[in-house]
Amino acid sequence: MNYSYIIIDDDQESVLKTKAVADSFSELTFLATAHNYEEGLNLILEHTPNLVFLEIDPADKKSNLSLLLINELYRYLKIVPRIIVTTSKKELAFESIGYEVADYLLKPLNRIDLVKSILKLNKSNTEPEAPISRVAVVDEKPISVVEVETKSEEKPLILCIKSYGDYRYIDAKDVCYFQADNNSTDIYLNNGEMITAFKTLKHFESILSAPFIRIHNSYIVNRNYISRIHTGNAVCYIKNTTVKIPFSKSYKSNVDLVISEFSNGNYIEI
C-alpha cells in the first residue's frame, strides 16, 4: 500500500534525516514539513496525509509540539492520519499509547524500524476492525483515557477518580468544567457537586478531547454547558448557574472555535 506523509519536527537536521530514511521506500510519498504546532495542524488539514511523523519532545519549547496535536485533529477530521512518533526519549512511550499512535520510533531513525512500522500498517489495513476499549483512570500514577467504541454505538466516556483504593466514577458528559487548584484540579458537575482530583489541569487537557476545551490557564470547560459568551468582558457563562468563567487572550482562538461550532449547528442568529 502507498502512504503520503508529513514530517512535523522543530529540528531541521532531524527532518532531513527522517525524510532520507522515508525516501528509500517507494510506498511513501512526501508532502511537506512543519516546524511547530500551528504549521503542522494547518498542513495536516490542508493535505490530509496518511501518515504524520511527529516529534513530541521538541528542543524549542516555543514550537508547542506535543501529543496534544492529536486531540486537535479530532476536532476537524473524521479520519485522523496515522501518527508515528519520532523522538529521542523512551520515557514518553507510555503516554503515547493512550493516544493510540501507530508507532513510536527513537531517533535517529533507521531503516529496519520503518520497515516494521510499514508492515504493521499494512497488516492493520487488511485486518477487520475490532472494537477498541479504553478506560480512563485518574490516580497517583500516570493515567490513560478509557472509552469504548464499536461500529454500532459509542459508549460514554467514564472518568474514574482513584485515591487510596477509593474509586469514584463520573460520566464525562456530567462535567461542566475543570478548575486548576495548584497541583490538583476541581471538577464541577451539573448537579452542583465538586470533586477534587490530584492531577494538574494540564494533565486533563492532554487526555480529554471535544467537547472539552481549555479557555484559560485555570479552566477547561465542557462546550455543551456554555450558555453565553461575552467577548467584551472575556467571560463564558455556565448553563443553569451563576458561574462566569474568564477566558484569556492566549486561549481566545479556542473560544472563537466554540463560537464557530455553535454557528455550524442547527442555529439561528437574531
Query: What is the domain partition of the chain in residue ranges?
Result: 3-125, 133-263
Q: What's residue 124's pLDDT?
A: 76
What separation in angstroms does the CA of 194 have from each of 36, 177, 186, 188?
37, 10, 6, 5
Which CATH number is 3-125 given? 3.40.50.2300
Q: What's residue 254's pLDDT?
A: 86
Q: What's residue 138's pLDDT?
A: 54
Q: What's residue 132's pLDDT?
A: 41
Superfamily for the 133-263 domain:
LytTr DNA-binding domain (2.40.50.1020)
Q: What's residue 130's pLDDT?
A: 46
Q: What's residue 228's pLDDT?
A: 95
- What's the predicted TM-score (pTM) here? 0.50
pLDDT tens string for the chain (270 positions)? 789 999 999 999 999 999 999 988 888 999 999 999 999 999 999 999 999 999 999 999 999 999 999 989 988 988 899 999 999 988 888 888 888 899 999 998 888 888 988 888 888 776 554 444 444 555 544 444 444 344 445 678 899 998 778 899 999 999 999 999 988 999 999 999 999 998 999 989 888 888 899 999 999 999 999 999 999 999 999 999 999 999 998 888 889 888 888 887 788 888
